[in-house]
Each structure stands twice: as structure tokens, then as C-alpha cells.
Amino acid sequence: MPLNWKSVYPAENPEFSFSSRRSVVHSTRGMIACTQPLAARCGLRILDSGGNAADAAVAVAAALNVTEPASTGIGGDMFCLFYNAKTKKIEAMNGSGRASAKSSLEAVRKDLGLKDGEARQMPMKSIHAVTVPGAAAGWVDTVERFGSGKLSLAQILAPAIELAEQGFPVSEISSYLWRSFEQDLIDASPNYEELLKKEPEGFRGPNPGELFQNKPLAATFRTLAEEGKKGFYTGRIAEEIIRVTKQQGGFLELEDLQNHLEKGSEPVEPISYVFKGQGYVKTHGAFVDGSSGQGTNEDNHGIEIWEHPPNGQGIVALMALGIFEILEETGKIPQFKPSDHNSTQYLHAVIECLRIAFADASWWIADPSHSKVPSTTLISKPYLAERAKLFDPLKASSKIYDKGSPAHTHSDTVYFAVTDKEGNGISFINSIFDSFGSGIIPKGTGFVLQNRGASFQLSEGHPNAIGPGKRPYHTIIPAMVTNVHDGSLHSVYGVMGGFMQPQGHVQVLLNTIAFKHNPQAALDAPRFCIGAEGIPGDPYERSVFLEEGISESVCQELRDMGHDAKIVKGYTRRVFGRGQLIRAHVEDGVMVFSAGSDPRGDGAAFPG
């Protein structure tokens, strides 16, 4: 039996120490939570036309490419988790692209002028950071594998095509990103005018409320709609991708795109961790409808958190939650009360759990088809118990390990969650990595190519070292939660933002479990971000950004414990990511969806 309404509002008359300015949105006919209202509208049109959550997700992904091109697009990669309401199974799909078959470590190091023995990461704006775009195939494969079968790809992409052709008013944060990185587009691509507004004195990004048209992107979408994946990975679009990258010394060839066309997106097994900490076993039992006769056996209760396996970093969230649970079991941390939210003791515990998890991830997360990734071991109780011994409740760890980290801290991404009236759900994330990715625009296409290859290492012997046909470490991760007692859907959620993503997954989930926040409050609550001035996997990196709303006294107490803590305000708060959360419960036999959307973005939750 699924959970009841009390699981969505676990605290009566809650008193939050922060401003939670929006109410939870409810619906019985599905839900879309994303960063752009116009993109949500495109998805709702698909739901209203008989499409399911997967169909609507692709419509939203395409529309986000139109409305928020600094963060996402068809020139990037995607991952998704799909919950099938009939089977109660979660399926995962890896829609990430690979390095060129000519991208050997030796060739790239030589081209970058690296000396023997010189260790370095891939430069963010290097042409060798451009990998094959996986999103186009991912969108098509999402519809084919998980879609309703009632709508064609052309019907699903039609709302986004209309938006791009007719133009749309640009939202505030999208405009901020556009204007902030307009010069990067001009510097990176000979075709920059396709994504900028023309002025007498030059080109610029659009201001908030200004209309912007992207007819080249509409043409790209129309080609994909009419010809499928073949229309993107062969023909005019493919030739323009290769032409513009070769002009800048890249190794990509038409054969690399053809290879991705043939392989398509990869179905993979999701990874999961069962969490029963913070007293949730007992409260979870109370949330189950009493008529089911359940709620007495604690073994039946708890939640199972699902993440995408490597080459994504979702395993970081599972490891951190596992270590956190073990610290509670061994008495190192208490069962926190709602009043302990964002207290020094709580923040120190979660920060240290994440540091330990990132330390392992920075070495192990790589393309599993090229390097063995021991995912099962990394999230096993015995291993996590051993790693939990590194935790000191009184001070920040001085050093955790001495391996190199695989990725930069920058990332611009879109995450969104969709459910439908049948109870299906999809957790979907799409990214071009850095703001406007590589900045390189293939002529006449209206999109930028990603720079995801900047996550590769350039050191011999590292599991994540660049290599022919290899996928890099990926920061983008979708998440889902199911109920242990019956496998029913609990949550579809995620938080975009580079290394913030697993940190956001942990914090938002604990907000709902330990601190009894409703879906909107869980996203409104102030967050922290470790590694904000470095890399979380760096053994000596101790920076902790605390969002305004966390007290100065807590900030000082964390400094006293050895954390390099500082309060962050204004637009710099984008480091804390932007999340979406849809909860599911049943009332009188009817599935009800309850959603929140991050106030740090331009979007909201929209009922179907």
C-alpha cells in the first residue's frame, strides 16, 4: 500500500528557521517540475495529448534547450531514471557521448604540450573537451523505450519547435547566464550570432523579458523529428559538427558520430541504497494506510534511494547517506530533531560524510566499459562502516586520501521531474557542462557543443584518463526514491549543479526524512556546498559555502572545527544548484502528486 498524505506533511504547524515562500503544488493527473515555465507548458501539452511522463520529458528537454541554452541542449548529454507504475521497476538509461576514437592520451597530451610526467586535467575550453553529443540519441531512445507509443517524435517536439520559431520572452536567470557568458560565445565560435541578439554596436545576450528566436535550432529539431537519430548523427548536422571542431584542431570524425548512432543510449542497471536512519522506519510505518495491516514490522519500512551508476556520480550520494546512517547506528551522531536543522553538529556530519564519499568517487568514477568500477562494494555496509571510521565528531578531517580528482567544479545543467496520471515517473537531467559548454556552434544548427571531456584526467594509469571512445566522469545525476515495503513510488527528484548534485540529493532527502519538511520547504531550505573553491575530492580542500539563512554563529563554529566556511549571498547562490521534487501518495485509491520547485531557478511545479 502506498503512503498517505501525512508523509507529504509530516510536521504539524512547522516552524521553519528560513523563508519558505511557496506552497506545495498538488495534482492527480501528473506533474512537471522544471526551471522554465514555458518548457513545462510544452510538457503539459504532451500529457494533455495522451502522452506519458517519458514523452513529456523529451518535450520539456527540447524546450529547455530553447529557453535556457546556457545550461542545456541537444549538443550535450542526458541521463534518466524511469519508474514503471505497472511493474514497479526502475530502469536507467545512459545518454552520454564518448571521446573520439583518435583521442588517445598520448595524442591529447602532445597537442596540449604537456611534458612527460606532468599531471593535469583537461582544460575547460580545450577543443579536446568536446565529446560526441549524446542527448539527441537519448531523446529518441527515451521515447522509444519508455514512451506511451501514442505520439510520434514529431508531435512531441512540435511545442519546442513552435517556441523556437515564434520566439519567447527570456526569463531572468536564463538572461543572467546568457549575458554573463556572451563574450565566451563570441570568442569560441565563428557562428556566435546564432545565439545572440544583433545590435548596431555588435552582439549580446537577451535581457529579461526580451523576445528571442532560434530558427536554426527549430530546423535542427525538425530534422530530428522527421529523420530520427540518423538525421543528427549523419547528414548536414553531423557534417557541420565535424567541420567546426576540425577547424579548431579537434579529433572528432564522422565515424565517431556514426558509432554513437549505431550504439545509441545504453540501458544500465540503476544502483540503490536502503535508508532506515533518523527514525524513519517508525515514522514511515505510520505513513502507510492502516488498513493494509502493515506498519508493525520495521523490516518492511524505510526508503530505497536510486541513482544512476558510474560514469555518473550518483554513487556519491548513496555512499554519503550510508556513512551517515552508520554514524547514527554507532552513536557518533544523534537522531536529529527538526530544531537541529542546519545546526553545527548536523552540517559537520553531512559535510564529512560527503568528503569521504567524494574521496572514493574521484578515483573510481569512470567509464565502466573501460575500467572496473566496484559499485557494489563501494555502497556495501562493511565498506561504508570502514570508511565511517574516518569521521571525527569534533573536527574537520585533515586529509582523507591522496589520489587526484577527476573534474572541475563548474557545471550548467537542467534537471526536471515528470509524472503522469498512470503513476509513471521520470527523473531526467540534460547538460552541456560549463555555461554554454564549449561555446562552439555548428553552423546553421542553433546549439552549442558540450565540453564534458573537461572531466577527463590526463594522467597515465588513472581510471578516468582520456582514451579512444571513452566516456568521462559525469556530474549529472537523476534520482528516485521508492518505498521498501511495497516498491511504490515515493519521490522523483534531483538537484542540478556540478559537484553540488550529490550534495543536494543528500540534503534535500534528509530535509524530508530527518527534519519533516514538505516538498517545497525541502527545496527552499538553505544549503551548503563543499569544494566550492576547489574540488571535493582534493584531500586538502576544506572550503564550505553556506547559503544565506544559515547563521553566522554556525559558520564560525564550523571554522573553529577546521572548515573553511563562508556565507554566500546574491547570484553567487547558483553554486547551490536548482532542484525539483515530486512526491507520490494515495488518497481514497487515487494517486496524488505533491511537488516543489527550487526558488533559486526561474521555474515552478505545474499540475497536469
pLDDT one-digit tens code per residue, 271-300: 999 999 998 877 666 676 543 334 445 567
State whether 89 and 223 are in the same domain.
yes
Confidence of residue 320 (pLDDT cuts 50, 70, 90): very high
**Other CB atoms within 10 Å distance of the CB of residue 170:** 25
Q: Taking 70 as the threshold, does the pLDDT of residue 544 lie above it? A: yes
Q: Taking 50 as the threshold, does the pLDDT of residue 605 lie above it? A: yes
pLDDT one-digit tens code per residue, 555-565: 999 999 999 99
State whether 97 and 222 are in the same domain.
yes
**CA–CA dist 367, 467 (Å, integer):** 10
Helices (H), 365-468: 375-378, 381-388
Residue 426 near residue 82 (C-beta atoms within 8 A): yes
Helix, strand, or coil (residue 414): strand
pLDDT one-digit tens code per residue, 218-269: 999 999 999 999 999 999 999 999 999 999 999 999 999 999 999 989 999 9
Q: Taking 90 as the threshold, does the pLDDT of residue 542 lie above it? A: no
**CA–CA dist 587, 606 (Å, integer):** 20
Identify whether 500 is part of a domain.
yes
Nearest partner of 337 among 507, 504, 516, judged by Cα: 516
Angle at 576 between CA 543 and CA 417, to 5 degrees: 145
Identify whether 472 is part of a domain.
no
At residue 474, the pLDDT reads 87
Q: Which residue type is seen at 111?
A: D
Average pLDDT over residues 199-222: 97
Q: Taking 60 as the threshold, does the pLDDT of residue 533 lie above it? A: no
Max mean pLDDT range (24-33, 366-375, 410-419, 449-458): 24-33
**CA–CA dist 238, 256 (Å, integer):** 10
Identify whether 562 is part of a domain.
yes
At residue 365, the pLDDT reads 81
Cell numbers 595524442: residue: 107
CA distances, 311 to each of 100, 218, 371, 476, 519 (Å): 17, 31, 10, 10, 29
State whether 380 and 251 are in the same domain.
no
pLDDT one-digit tens code per residue, 458-489: 988 888 899 999 999 888 899 999 999 999 99
pLDDT one-digit tens code per residue, 333-367: 999 999 999 999 999 999 999 999 998 887 888 78
Last residue of a domain, one of 424, 455, 486: 455
CA atoms within 13 A on the CB side of 350: 26
E strand or H helix that includes residue 169: strand 168-169
E strand or H helix that includes residue 604: strand 604-607
Residue 229: what are its φ and ψ, rounded to 5°? -55, -35
Nearest partner of 27 among 417, 486, 590, 415, judged by Cα: 590
Identify whether 462 is part of a domain.
no
Strand bridging mode 25-27 / 590-597: antiparallel
Largest CA distance in the chain: 72
State the average pLDDT for the chain. 91
Q: Taking 90 as the threshold, does the pLDDT of residue 89 lie above it? A: yes
Average pLDDT over residues 570-578: 86
Confidence of residue 52 (pLDDT cuts 50, 70, 90): very high
Instruction: Return the bridge partners of 84, or none.
Output: 89
**Span of 97-101, 188-192, 371-375, 421-425 with lowest mean pLDDT:** 371-375
CA distances, 583 to each of 5, 340, 341, 344, 596 (Å): 10, 24, 21, 29, 9
State whether 522 and 578 are in the same domain.
yes
Residue 69 near residue 196 (C-beta atoms within 8 A): no
Identify whether 468 is part of a domain.
no
At residue 397, the pLDDT reads 85
State whether 88 and 195 are in the same domain.
yes
Last residue of a domain, one of 422, 455, 488: 455
Q: Taking 80 as the threshold, does the pLDDT of residue 456 lie above it? A: yes
State whether 323 and 397 are in the same domain.
yes
Residue 317 near residue 307 (C-beta atoms within 8 A): yes
87 lies in which domain range? 30-267+410-455
State whether 178 and 276 are in the same domain.
no
State whether 432 and 555 are in the same domain.
no
CA distances, 392 to each of 325, 395, 397 (Å): 15, 6, 7
State whether 483 and 342 are in the same domain.
yes
**CA–CA dist 6, 302 (Å, integer):** 15
At residue 258, the pLDDT reads 98
> In sequence order, what are the residues at sequence separation of 6 or more whose Cβ sits closer than 8 angstroms to the Cβ of residue 304?
272, 273, 274, 275, 481, 482, 483, 484
State whether 429 and 508 are in the same domain.
no
At residue 409, the pLDDT reads 43
At residue 565, the pLDDT reads 95
Identify whether 467 is part of a domain.
no
Number of domains in the chain: 2
Nine-digit cell string for 107: 595524442
CA distances, 444 to each of 212, 230, 251, 547 (Å): 16, 17, 21, 41
At residue 216, the pLDDT reads 99
CA distances, 335 to each of 52, 273, 316, 379, 386 (Å): 40, 19, 22, 22, 21
DSSP state of 550: B
Helix, strand, or coil (residue 225): helix
Q: Taking 60 as the threshold, does the pLDDT of residue 403 lie above it? A: no
**CA–CA dist 440, 119 (Å, integer):** 27
Strand bridging mode 30-34 / 604-607: antiparallel
Identify whether 460 is part of a domain.
no
At residue 407, the pLDDT reads 33
Strand bridging mode 564-568 / 543-547: parallel
State whether 278 and 261 are in the same domain.
no
**CATH code: domain of residue 16:** 1.10.246.130
Helix, strand, or coil (residue 330): coil
**Span of 157-161, 250-254, 432-436 with lowest mean pLDDT:** 432-436
Whole-number CA gyration radius for the chain: 23
**CA–CA dist 537, 361 (Å, integer):** 8
Interaxial angle between packed helices 381-388 and 344-364, expressed in degrees from 0 to 180 and rounded to the nearest 10:
120
**CA–CA dist 416, 429 (Å, integer):** 6
- The region, left, alpha or beta by phi > 0 then psi within -120 to 50, assigned to residue 302 is left
The CA-to-CA distance between both ends of the chain, in Å, stands at: 24
Contacts for 8-14 with beta carbons within 8 Å, 24 or more apart?
A: 8/518, 8/519, 8/583, 8/585, 8/594, 9/518, 10/283, 10/287, 10/512, 10/516, 10/518, 11/338, 11/516, 11/517, 14/338, 14/516, 14/517, 14/518, 14/521
Average pLDDT over residues 566-579: 89
Nearest partner of 546 among 512, 507, 602, judged by Cα: 507
Identify whether 571 is part of a domain.
yes
Confidence of residue 98 (pLDDT cuts 50, 70, 90): very high
State whether 244 and 110 are in the same domain.
yes
DSSP state of 551: -
CA distances, 533 to each of 354, 367, 460, 530 (Å): 16, 26, 26, 8
CA distances, 291 to each of 272, 299, 527 (Å): 29, 18, 38
Cell numbers 522544471: residue: 34
